[in-house]
Amino acid sequence: MIPSAHRPVIALHGGCGVMSRALLSEDEWVAACADMRKALEAGYAILSAGGSAVAAVEACVTVMEDSPHFNAGHGAALNASGQHELDASIMDGATAQAGAVAGAQAVRNPVRLARKLMEQSIPMMLAGPAADAYAADHGLETVPQSYFTTPRRAEALATMRAHDRLGTFASESEKHGTVGAVALDCDGNLAAATSTGGFTNKAVGRVGDSAIIGAGTYARNGVCAVSCTGQGEQFIRHVVAHEIAARIRYEDRPLADAARAILAEAFTPHGIGGGVIAIDQRGTISAEFNTEGMFRGWIDADGVLFVATHRDSECTLG
Ligand code: ASP
Protein backbone atom coordinates (compact mmCIF):
# COMPACT_ATOMS: atom_id res chain seq x y z
CA MET A 1 0.00 0.00 0.00
CA ILE A 2 1.49 3.33 -1.00
CA PRO A 3 1.33 5.89 1.82
CA SER A 4 0.54 9.02 -0.12
CA ALA A 5 -2.07 11.29 -1.54
CA HIS A 6 -1.26 10.27 -5.10
CA ARG A 7 -1.01 6.84 -6.58
CA PRO A 8 2.08 6.90 -8.81
CA VAL A 9 1.97 6.27 -12.53
CA ILE A 10 4.74 5.78 -15.09
CA ALA A 11 4.60 5.41 -18.87
CA LEU A 12 7.25 5.00 -21.53
CA HIS A 13 7.75 4.79 -25.27
CA GLY A 14 10.48 3.08 -27.27
CA GLY A 15 9.84 4.96 -30.51
CA CYS A 16 7.12 5.09 -33.13
CA GLY A 17 9.30 3.37 -35.75
CA VAL A 18 8.09 -0.15 -35.09
CA MET A 19 8.90 -2.65 -37.82
CA SER A 20 5.88 -4.51 -39.16
CA ARG A 21 5.12 -7.53 -37.00
CA ALA A 22 6.04 -9.78 -39.94
CA LEU A 23 9.57 -8.34 -40.14
CA LEU A 24 10.26 -8.18 -36.41
CA SER A 25 11.63 -11.53 -35.25
CA GLU A 26 9.83 -13.22 -32.37
CA ASP A 27 13.02 -13.19 -30.29
CA GLU A 28 13.55 -9.51 -30.82
CA TRP A 29 9.93 -8.67 -30.07
CA VAL A 30 10.01 -10.65 -26.82
CA ALA A 31 13.34 -9.10 -25.77
CA ALA A 32 12.16 -5.55 -26.54
CA CYS A 33 8.96 -6.12 -24.55
CA ALA A 34 10.95 -7.56 -21.64
CA ASP A 35 13.25 -4.51 -21.60
CA MET A 36 10.26 -2.17 -21.59
CA ARG A 37 8.89 -4.04 -18.61
CA LYS A 38 12.26 -3.84 -16.85
CA ALA A 39 12.42 -0.09 -17.51
CA LEU A 40 8.91 0.48 -16.18
CA GLU A 41 9.64 -1.58 -13.08
CA ALA A 42 12.84 0.38 -12.42
CA GLY A 43 10.93 3.66 -12.50
CA TYR A 44 7.95 2.34 -10.56
CA ALA A 45 10.16 0.96 -7.77
CA ILE A 46 11.38 4.50 -7.18
CA LEU A 47 7.88 5.95 -7.25
CA SER A 48 6.37 3.37 -4.94
CA ALA A 49 9.15 3.98 -2.41
CA GLY A 50 8.17 7.65 -2.38
CA GLY A 51 10.90 8.78 -4.80
CA SER A 52 10.51 11.65 -7.24
CA ALA A 53 9.03 11.58 -10.73
CA VAL A 54 12.34 12.99 -12.00
CA ALA A 55 14.32 10.11 -10.49
CA ALA A 56 11.78 7.63 -11.90
CA VAL A 57 11.92 8.87 -15.49
CA GLU A 58 15.72 9.02 -15.34
CA ALA A 59 15.89 5.41 -14.11
CA CYS A 60 13.35 4.22 -16.67
CA VAL A 61 15.11 5.92 -19.61
CA THR A 62 18.51 4.65 -18.41
CA VAL A 63 17.28 1.04 -18.74
CA MET A 64 15.97 1.82 -22.21
CA GLU A 65 19.31 3.44 -23.18
CA ASP A 66 21.13 0.31 -22.03
CA SER A 67 18.88 -1.95 -24.12
CA PRO A 68 20.13 -2.76 -27.66
CA HIS A 69 16.53 -2.83 -28.91
CA PHE A 70 15.93 0.92 -28.94
CA ASN A 71 17.49 3.90 -30.65
CA ALA A 72 19.20 5.51 -27.65
CA GLY A 73 22.46 4.81 -25.84
CA HIS A 74 23.56 1.24 -26.70
CA GLY A 75 21.81 0.61 -30.03
CA ALA A 76 21.56 4.27 -31.07
CA ALA A 77 21.29 5.16 -34.76
CA LEU A 78 24.40 6.03 -36.79
CA ASN A 79 24.68 9.39 -38.53
CA ALA A 80 25.82 10.02 -42.12
CA SER A 81 29.49 9.67 -41.19
CA GLY A 82 28.90 6.44 -39.28
CA GLN A 83 29.11 8.14 -35.86
CA HIS A 84 26.67 8.31 -32.97
CA GLU A 85 25.50 11.75 -31.82
CA LEU A 86 23.12 11.48 -28.90
CA ASP A 87 20.40 13.88 -27.75
CA ALA A 88 18.50 13.79 -24.47
CA SER A 89 16.51 15.99 -22.10
CA ILE A 90 14.65 15.85 -18.80
CA MET A 91 12.19 18.19 -17.11
CA ASP A 92 10.81 18.49 -13.59
CA GLY A 93 7.18 19.65 -13.68
CA ALA A 94 7.35 20.83 -10.08
CA THR A 95 10.05 23.43 -10.61
CA ALA A 96 10.29 23.92 -14.40
CA GLN A 97 13.95 22.98 -14.01
CA ALA A 98 15.26 21.14 -17.05
CA GLY A 99 18.48 19.75 -18.49
CA ALA A 100 19.44 18.84 -22.04
CA VAL A 101 22.30 17.44 -24.09
CA ALA A 102 22.81 17.53 -27.85
CA GLY A 103 25.25 15.63 -30.03
CA ALA A 104 27.06 13.82 -27.21
CA GLN A 105 29.41 11.09 -28.42
CA ALA A 106 30.79 9.42 -25.33
CA VAL A 107 28.52 9.65 -22.30
CA ARG A 108 27.05 6.20 -21.78
CA ASN A 109 23.69 7.45 -20.49
CA PRO A 110 22.80 10.86 -21.96
CA VAL A 111 19.69 11.09 -19.76
CA ARG A 112 21.90 11.02 -16.67
CA LEU A 113 23.92 13.89 -18.07
CA ALA A 114 20.69 15.81 -18.73
CA ARG A 115 19.71 15.26 -15.08
CA LYS A 116 23.10 16.52 -13.87
CA LEU A 117 22.72 19.63 -16.01
CA MET A 118 19.22 20.13 -14.64
CA GLU A 119 20.58 20.16 -11.12
CA GLN A 120 23.29 22.59 -12.13
CA SER A 121 20.70 24.97 -13.56
CA ILE A 122 23.14 27.05 -15.67
CA PRO A 123 24.13 25.86 -18.18
CA MET A 124 21.05 23.73 -18.62
CA MET A 125 22.07 22.50 -22.07
CA LEU A 126 25.44 21.43 -23.46
CA ALA A 127 26.36 20.22 -26.93
CA GLY A 128 29.07 18.05 -28.50
CA PRO A 129 32.48 17.52 -26.89
CA ALA A 130 31.66 19.95 -24.06
CA ALA A 131 28.77 17.72 -23.03
CA ASP A 132 30.99 14.64 -22.90
CA ALA A 133 33.70 16.53 -21.00
CA TYR A 134 31.11 17.71 -18.47
CA ALA A 135 29.90 14.13 -18.05
CA ALA A 136 33.41 12.85 -17.38
CA ASP A 137 34.14 15.73 -14.97
CA HIS A 138 30.97 14.93 -13.04
CA GLY A 139 31.66 11.24 -12.60
CA LEU A 140 29.42 9.87 -15.34
CA GLU A 141 30.61 6.86 -17.32
CA THR A 142 31.98 7.55 -20.78
CA VAL A 143 32.44 4.85 -23.41
CA PRO A 144 33.99 4.45 -26.88
CA GLN A 145 31.68 4.96 -29.86
CA SER A 146 31.77 1.21 -30.54
CA TYR A 147 29.74 0.66 -27.34
CA PHE A 148 26.73 2.32 -28.98
CA THR A 149 26.90 0.38 -32.27
CA THR A 150 24.87 -2.78 -32.78
CA PRO A 151 24.89 -4.93 -35.94
CA ARG A 152 21.32 -3.85 -36.62
CA ARG A 153 22.27 -0.15 -36.64
CA ALA A 154 25.23 -0.80 -38.95
CA GLU A 155 22.90 -2.62 -41.33
CA ALA A 156 20.36 0.19 -41.12
CA LEU A 157 23.01 2.72 -42.17
CA ALA A 158 23.95 0.56 -45.17
CA THR A 159 20.27 0.30 -46.11
CA MET A 160 19.72 4.06 -45.80
CA ARG A 161 22.79 4.77 -47.94
CA ALA A 162 21.35 2.38 -50.53
CA HIS A 163 18.02 4.25 -50.42
CA ASP A 164 19.95 7.47 -51.08
CA ARG A 165 21.82 5.97 -54.02
CA LEU A 166 18.67 4.47 -55.54
CA GLY A 167 16.42 7.40 -54.76
CA THR A 168 14.01 5.18 -52.80
CA PHE A 169 12.31 6.01 -49.53
CA ALA A 170 12.99 4.57 -46.10
CA SER A 171 10.16 3.11 -44.03
CA GLU A 172 9.14 4.59 -40.67
CA SER A 173 10.86 1.70 -38.91
CA GLU A 174 14.14 2.56 -40.61
CA LYS A 175 13.81 6.15 -39.47
CA HIS A 176 12.44 6.49 -35.95
CA GLY A 177 13.41 5.04 -32.62
CA THR A 178 13.93 7.09 -29.48
CA VAL A 179 12.93 6.35 -25.90
CA GLY A 180 11.08 8.44 -23.36
CA ALA A 181 9.23 8.30 -20.06
CA VAL A 182 6.71 10.34 -18.11
CA ALA A 183 5.75 9.91 -14.46
CA LEU A 184 3.53 11.15 -11.65
CA ASP A 185 4.92 10.65 -8.16
CA CYS A 186 3.29 10.24 -4.75
CA ASP A 187 3.63 13.97 -4.08
CA GLY A 188 1.74 14.81 -7.26
CA ASN A 189 4.82 15.93 -9.19
CA LEU A 190 5.15 15.30 -12.90
CA ALA A 191 8.34 14.72 -14.93
CA ALA A 192 9.35 13.75 -18.46
CA ALA A 193 12.56 12.55 -20.13
CA THR A 194 13.55 11.61 -23.69
CA SER A 195 16.73 10.15 -25.22
CA THR A 196 17.69 9.30 -28.80
CA GLY A 197 20.32 8.63 -31.41
CA GLY A 198 18.15 10.65 -33.80
CA PHE A 199 17.71 8.71 -37.03
CA THR A 200 19.94 6.63 -39.25
CA ASN A 201 22.03 8.62 -41.74
CA LYS A 202 21.09 11.97 -40.16
CA ALA A 203 23.34 14.90 -41.04
CA VAL A 204 26.43 15.35 -38.89
CA GLY A 205 25.65 17.92 -36.20
CA ARG A 206 21.89 17.65 -36.64
CA VAL A 207 19.98 18.15 -33.38
CA GLY A 208 16.44 16.85 -32.96
CA ASP A 209 13.50 17.52 -30.70
CA SER A 210 14.61 15.05 -28.02
CA ALA A 211 17.21 17.58 -26.90
CA ILE A 212 14.79 20.48 -26.93
CA ILE A 213 12.60 21.33 -23.97
CA GLY A 214 9.10 22.15 -25.17
CA ALA A 215 9.53 20.26 -28.46
CA GLY A 216 10.30 16.63 -27.52
CA THR A 217 10.03 16.85 -23.73
CA TYR A 218 7.89 18.92 -21.40
CA ALA A 219 6.44 18.70 -17.89
CA ARG A 220 4.41 21.11 -15.82
CA ASN A 221 2.71 20.27 -12.57
CA GLY A 222 -1.06 20.67 -12.72
CA VAL A 223 -1.04 20.13 -16.49
CA CYS A 224 0.89 17.18 -17.99
CA ALA A 225 4.20 15.52 -18.79
CA VAL A 226 5.00 14.63 -22.42
CA SER A 227 7.72 12.75 -24.33
CA CYS A 228 7.68 12.61 -28.15
CA THR A 229 9.00 10.36 -30.91
CA GLY A 230 9.00 10.79 -34.68
CA GLN A 231 10.43 13.32 -37.09
CA GLY A 232 12.13 15.76 -34.75
CA GLU A 233 12.07 18.70 -37.15
CA GLN A 234 8.27 18.69 -37.14
CA PHE A 235 8.12 18.41 -33.35
CA ILE A 236 10.42 21.43 -33.10
CA ARG A 237 8.42 23.50 -35.62
CA HIS A 238 5.19 22.87 -33.74
CA VAL A 239 6.75 22.90 -30.25
CA VAL A 240 4.63 19.81 -29.75
CA ALA A 241 5.22 18.81 -26.13
CA HIS A 242 4.50 22.35 -24.94
CA GLU A 243 1.64 22.73 -27.40
CA ILE A 244 -0.12 19.74 -25.85
CA ALA A 245 0.27 21.32 -22.40
CA ALA A 246 -0.97 24.68 -23.72
CA ARG A 247 -4.11 23.14 -25.19
CA ILE A 248 -4.89 21.47 -21.88
CA ARG A 249 -4.15 24.61 -19.91
CA TYR A 250 -5.82 27.24 -22.05
CA GLU A 251 -8.52 25.25 -23.85
CA ASP A 252 -9.25 22.82 -21.04
CA ARG A 253 -8.93 19.91 -23.45
CA PRO A 254 -8.56 16.32 -22.22
CA LEU A 255 -5.01 15.01 -22.59
CA ALA A 256 -5.70 12.40 -25.28
CA ASP A 257 -7.69 14.89 -27.29
CA ALA A 258 -4.87 17.46 -27.23
CA ALA A 259 -2.25 14.85 -28.21
CA ARG A 260 -4.40 13.36 -30.99
CA ALA A 261 -5.25 16.78 -32.41
CA ILE A 262 -1.66 17.92 -32.85
CA LEU A 263 -0.71 14.67 -34.62
CA ALA A 264 -3.77 14.98 -36.86
CA GLU A 265 -2.98 18.62 -37.72
CA ALA A 266 0.79 18.74 -38.01
CA PHE A 267 1.91 15.20 -38.90
CA THR A 268 -0.63 12.99 -40.63
CA PRO A 269 -1.56 15.44 -43.45
CA HIS A 270 2.15 15.69 -44.35
CA GLY A 271 2.75 11.94 -44.22
CA ILE A 272 5.07 12.42 -41.24
CA GLY A 273 5.20 9.77 -38.53
CA GLY A 274 4.89 10.79 -34.92
CA GLY A 275 3.93 9.57 -31.50
CA VAL A 276 3.68 10.85 -27.95
CA ILE A 277 3.25 9.43 -24.51
CA ALA A 278 1.82 11.72 -21.91
CA ILE A 279 0.30 11.74 -18.47
CA ASP A 280 -1.89 14.35 -16.81
CA GLN A 281 -2.18 15.50 -13.21
CA ARG A 282 -4.83 12.87 -12.46
CA GLY A 283 -2.56 10.12 -13.73
CA THR A 284 -4.46 9.64 -17.00
CA ILE A 285 -2.11 8.06 -19.56
CA SER A 286 -2.19 8.82 -23.26
CA ALA A 287 -0.19 7.02 -25.97
CA GLU A 288 -1.02 8.47 -29.40
CA PHE A 289 0.74 7.66 -32.68
CA ASN A 290 -0.03 7.74 -36.38
CA THR A 291 2.43 5.00 -37.39
CA GLU A 292 1.96 1.24 -37.60
CA GLY A 293 2.94 0.96 -33.99
CA MET A 294 4.81 2.50 -31.12
CA PHE A 295 6.75 0.62 -28.48
CA ARG A 296 4.92 1.70 -25.35
CA GLY A 297 3.95 0.66 -21.88
CA TRP A 298 2.90 1.85 -18.47
CA ILE A 299 2.15 0.98 -14.91
CA ASP A 300 -1.14 2.67 -14.08
CA ALA A 301 -2.58 4.03 -10.83
CA ASP A 302 -3.78 0.54 -9.87
CA GLY A 303 -0.26 -0.82 -10.32
CA VAL A 304 -1.21 -2.73 -13.49
CA LEU A 305 1.58 -3.14 -16.04
CA PHE A 306 0.81 -2.97 -19.76
CA VAL A 307 3.27 -3.25 -22.66
CA ALA A 308 2.49 -3.10 -26.39
CA THR A 309 4.16 -2.59 -29.74
CA HIS A 310 1.77 -2.50 -32.70
CA ARG A 311 -1.67 -0.96 -32.88
CA ASP A 312 -3.55 -3.95 -31.48
CA SER A 313 -0.79 -6.02 -29.99
CA GLU A 314 -0.40 -6.24 -26.28
CA CYS A 315 2.77 -8.12 -25.26
CA THR A 316 1.90 -11.08 -23.10
CA LEU A 317 4.86 -11.41 -20.85
CA GLY A 318 3.88 -14.11 -18.42
N1 ASP B 1 12.52 12.46 -32.51
C2 ASP B 1 13.79 11.87 -32.78
C3 ASP B 1 14.63 12.86 -33.52
O4 ASP B 1 14.12 13.49 -34.44
C5 ASP B 1 13.72 10.63 -33.61
C6 ASP B 1 12.67 9.65 -33.24
O7 ASP B 1 11.89 9.83 -32.32
O8 ASP B 1 12.61 8.64 -33.92
O9 ASP B 1 15.79 12.96 -33.25
- What are the tens digits of pLDDT across the range 213-234? 999 999 999 999 999 999 999 9
Answer yes or no: is 86 within a domain.
yes
Report pLDDT for 4: 54
Q: Average pLDDT in the 60-75 region?
A: 97
Report pLDDT for 287: 97
Three-state SS sequence of the chain = CCCCCCCCEEEEECCCCCCCCCCCCHHHHHHHHHHHHHHHHHHHHHHHCCCCHHHHHHHHHHHHHHCCCCCCCCCCCCCCCCCCCEEEEEEECCCCCEEEEEEECCECCHHHHHHHHHHHCCCCEEEHHHHHHHHHHCCCCECCHHHCCCHHHHHHHHHHHHHHHHCCCCCHHHHCCCEEEEEECCCCCEEEEEEECCCCCCCCCCCCHHHCECCCEEEECCCEEEEEEECHHHHHHCCHHHHHHHHHHHHCCCHHHHHHHHHHHHCHHHCCCEEEEEEECCCCEEEEECCCEEEEEEECCCCCEEEEEECCCECCCC
Pocket probe for ligand 1: among 196, 237, 290, 292, the residue whose CB has the most ligand atoms within 8 Å is 196
Q: How confident is the model at residue 272 (pLDDT cuts 50, 70, 90)?
A: very high
CATH number at residue 197: 3.60.20.30
Report pLDDT for 312: 72
User: Which residues are known catalytic residues?
Assistant: 178
Report pLDDT for 172: 55
Q: Whose CA is nearest to atom 7 of ligand 1?
A: 229
Answer yes or no: is 4 within a domain.
no
Q: Average pLDDT in the 68-95 region?
A: 96
User: Is the CB of 229 within 6 Å of ligand 1?
Assistant: yes
Model confidence pLDDT, tens digit, residues 154-209: 888 888 888 877 776 666 555 557 999 999 999 999 999 999 999 999 999 999 99
What separation in Å is there between the alpha carbon of 230 and the centre of ligand 1? Answer: 5
What is the number of domains present in the chain? 1
Share above pLDDT 70 across residues of the chain, in percent, rounded to a whole number: 93
Structural domain boundaries enclosing 249: 9-310
What separation in Å is there between the alpha carbon of 144 and the centre of ligand 1? Answer: 23
Position in ligand 1 atom list of the atom nearest CA 216: 1
Report pLDDT for 64: 98
Q: Whose CA is nearest to atom 4 of ligand 1?
A: 232
Task: Name 25's Cβ contacts closer than 8 Å, sequence gap at least 6.
Answer: none
Answer yes or no: is 3 within a domain.
no
Pocket probe for ligand 1: among 174, 210, 212, 213, the residue whose CB has the most ligand atoms within 8 Å is 210
Q: Whose CA is nearest to atom 8 of ligand 1?
A: 176
Report pLDDT for 203: 95
Answer yes or no: is 204 within a domain.
yes
Q: Whose CA is nearest to atom 5 of ligand 1?
A: 198
Answer yes or no: is 1 within a domain.
no
User: Is the CB of 273 within 6 Å of ligand 1?
Assistant: no
Answer yes or no: is 315 within a domain.
no
User: Is the CB of 209 within 6 Å of ligand 1?
Assistant: yes
Global pTM value: 0.94
Report pLDDT for 121: 81
User: Is the CB of 173 within 6 Å of ligand 1?
Assistant: no
Q: How confident is the model at residue 24 (pLDDT cuts 50, 70, 90)?
A: confident
Residue 271 has phi, psi (to 5 degrees) of 70, 25
